[in-house]
Structure 1
Amino acid sequence: METEDNIEDAFSEDEYQADEVRHSNVLLGFAEVLISEEETPVIEDTFIGGKPLWLHPESPPSPDLLVCKNCNSPLRLFLQTNSPLAHTLYDRIIYIFGCNKPQCRRKKGSVRAIRSLRKDPETMKRREIEDKKAANKLKLEQEKLEAKREKNRKLTQDLFGASSKDSGSNPFGSNPFASSDNSFTEPEKEKTNEEAEIIASEYLSEVPSASHLRAALKKLEVKLPSFPGYILDIDDEFLNPGQQVLEPLPNDITLKEALDSEGRETGILTKMPEKINNADAEEMMKSLDDVAFRHFTEIISFNTKQVLRYDIGGVPLLYSTKDDVSKAFYDERGKLRKPELFNIPTPGYHPNGSRRFELQLMPQAIIDFESDGSIDILKDGMEWGTILVATDSDDFIPDAYFDENYVAYVEEWCGVQWEEEVKF
C-alpha cells in the first residue's frame, strides 16, 4: 500500500538546505535554435520536432516502426538525441515519435521510442586508432614528465649527495651536466615507433557478421508530418535556490491557485480549461496531493525551460505515482526501487537482457511544439506530463537487424505519464 511517508522517504536523498547549490548527474536539454532553412541540425545534434535524420541517408527504419499502433498514421518526431555510450566506437541515436490525433490520446502505442546503431567497420577502426594514439600521446607525456623529474632528482643527488659522504672532496670536481648515456631520450624513440605501429583490432568484435547483413531500404516509404523544431543546448543540471524561477507548490495550495500559477506557462503544468466541475476538481487535487508530482514541480522550478533530462542508468523524475508506468519504479509498498531492480519489460529482441532508464522528455517540449499555433494541447491529445525511455542495458541489437550500411533499429520501452484527465 503506497503511503505519502514512503514516497517522501524515497526522495529524502534529494532534500537540500535553502541556500545550497546542488549539481546532479543529470544532463538537461534546452530549446536553443529554431530549425529553419538557415539553421538545420546535423546527425551529432540533439533536437526536438522537425524531421528525423538517419545514421545513413539510405538506411531509414522500417515503416512499421514509424506509424501509430492505434490509427496506423505516420508519427511525428518528438525527440532525436545523439547519445553515444562511453568507451564505444559506434554511432548511437535515440528517437521518440508520437501521434497527436485526438482519437489516439492516452492509448498505448501512440508514442514510440527507437534506438538506432551504426557499426560501420571503417569508422570504428579509425576511431580506435585515434583513441589509441591519444592514449599513447598521454602516456608519452607522462613518461617524459617523470623522466624529467627523475633527472632533476639525480642532478640534486650528484650535486649535494657526495659532500655528505666525503666532506674533503670537491663537489664540483665532476660536471653533473655532462652528457650521459642518453638514457632519457631512448624510451621516447621507442614509444614513437610503437605509436607508428598501432593496429586496430578491438572494434572487430563489435562489427556485425557480413553474412547476416540485409538489404537497406534506401528510401523512407512513409511521409512523416512534423512539429516546429529546435536544436537543443545540453548542460549539466544545477539546482540553485538563488536562480529558482518558481517556488515549489505549497502543501495547502488550492486548485484555483494551481490553475493561476505561472507553472501553466512554463512547462510545469500544461494548459487546463478555465472552468471545471467539482468532480474534475477533486481528481486534479489528487494529482496535487501526489508527493511525486510535487517533487517533479520542485525540481523543474530550478530550470523551467528544460525539455530533456538525460541520466542513463539513473532514476527518472516521475510525474505521478498513480499510474501503471510508475509501477515499474515503485514496489508494492510504495518504495522507490533501486535502478538495478526497476521492473521494466525485457526487450523482445534480447530475452536474456534487461533495460535501464535513459532519458525523459519534459512538458516544456509541448509548449515549444505549439509555438507556431499548429496544435492545441488538449484537443490534439498532447497533454502528457513526461515521456520516459528505457533502453537495453547491454546496448545489444542482433546482427540480423543490421543492413548493408551497418545500421539497425529496435523499438525500446516508452512510458508516458499523462496529465490527470479533465472532461469537458
Structure 2
Amino acid sequence: QGQGMPDNNSLKFLDLHGSSLQPIWEQQTCLDIFDRLSNLLYLNLSLNSLMALPQGIFRGLSSISELDLSSNALTYLQTDVFPPSLETLHLSNNFLVSPDPNCFRSLRYLSLSANRFYCDCTLWDFLEWLNSSNVILGSPVQEYKCEFPAAVHNLPLVEYAMIIEPCEEDDEQDVQDLRFALFTFSAILILSVTLSGVIYARLRGHIFITYKKLVSRFLEGPKMSPNENNQKYDAFVCFSIGDYRWVEAALLKKLDNQFSEENLFRCCFEARDFLPGEDHLSNIRDAIWSSRKTLCVVSKRFLTDGWCLEAFSLAQGRMLEELKHLLIMVVVGKVAHYQLMKCDAIRSFVQKRRYFTWPEDPQDLAWFYEQLISQILKDARLKEEAVVLEPDHRPEPDKGIALEIVNAT
C-alpha cells in the first residue's frame, strides 16, 4: 500500500475482477494503476460495477491483447479508450445502448451479448459495422436484441436493421457555420462603426472639405455669387469694437472681398465704412438699410454695448417690416443661453429664430463657414410662425471659445 508498480516489470497477466474499482476511480485515485504495465497481455476487470472508464486509464498498456470488461455497468465507450494492440474484448452483460464501432477497429474477437441496445437511428453505424465487419463475435448476432424503446423491445438487431432508417443529416455544423458567419459579420460591423466614428471625430473637417470640393467640381458647377440688387453691401457685420481683431481674423478675412479676391461678399463694418463726423446712429441705420443682410456677432461685450444692441433692434425691425430673413446672429465666446434671454433686444429673436454658434472644434470651421455663407446668399421670405430652435444651435452654459484664444489664421 502506498507503493506504485515497479518499472520494467514482467507482469503479463493481471486479474482484478470483483475489486470494486468504480468507487476508487470515482475519487480520482489509482488512475495510474496500469501506467507501468507495458508488458501486460491479459487484464480482467469484470464485476467491478464500472459505469465509465476514466480518460486514458489504459494508456500504459502498450502490449495488451485481451481485456475483460464483462458484467459491469458500462453505458458508453470513448472512441480512443482502448490501446491499438487490443485484439480480444469482452463486453457482455453491460448496458451499452449504442456502441461506437470506431472503438473496435483493432479487434479480432468481441463479446457483446446481454447488452441493452437502444434501437433508433443512432444505431445505424453499429448495425452497418455488424453487417460488414470481419470481427469474430462471442455469440451469434441473432441473439443481439433491442431493449428500448418499448415498441421494438426484444426485436433482434438483424430484423431491426431491415427497417431502420439513417438519421437526418445533422444540421449542427450548418448551425455552427451560420453562427460563425453572424459573429464575423457582427464583429466587422461593430468594428466598422467604431472605426468610422473615430475617423469622423478626428477627421470630419478634412472629410467635409474633400466632400465640398467633389460636389463643387462635379455637381454644383460654377461658384455661386450674391444676387444682383441695388444694395451697396451684401452684409453689415455688427460687433463690439473690442472684438475687432477676432472678427477680422475669424470672419472678415473669410467673407469680405477686400481681404481676399476669393471671398464673395462686400461687407460693411464700422471701423472701415462708417462716415467720420456723422451721427453714429445714422451710420448704423445707413449700414443696415444699405446691406442685404445684417450679421451680428454676439459676444459678452456685444451684450453690454448699447450701440450694438440698438443696431440689433433696428435690424430686427427691418426684418419684420420686409418679412425677409435679413438678420443673422452668430454667438461667440462663453455666452450662455440664459445670458441671451436676459437681454431684451435679443430675447424675442432667440425664442423664435435659429442662430449660429461658433464651433468649439476647429474641425467644424469649414462646415460653419459653408452654412454661414449659404445663409447670407439665401433670399428667403420670413415665415409668420416661430421657428423652433435646434439643440445644435443653442450654446450650452460655460461652453464656447474665448475670443482671445481663437486662431487668427
Work out which of the two has the higher radius of gyration on C-alpha atoms and give 1 or 2: 2
The two structures share one fold, judged by TM-score above 0.5: no
Higher helix share: 2
TM-score bracket relative to the smaller structure: under 0.3
- Looking at both structures, which has the greater relative contact order when contacts are Cα pairs under 8 Å and sequence separation is at least 6? 1
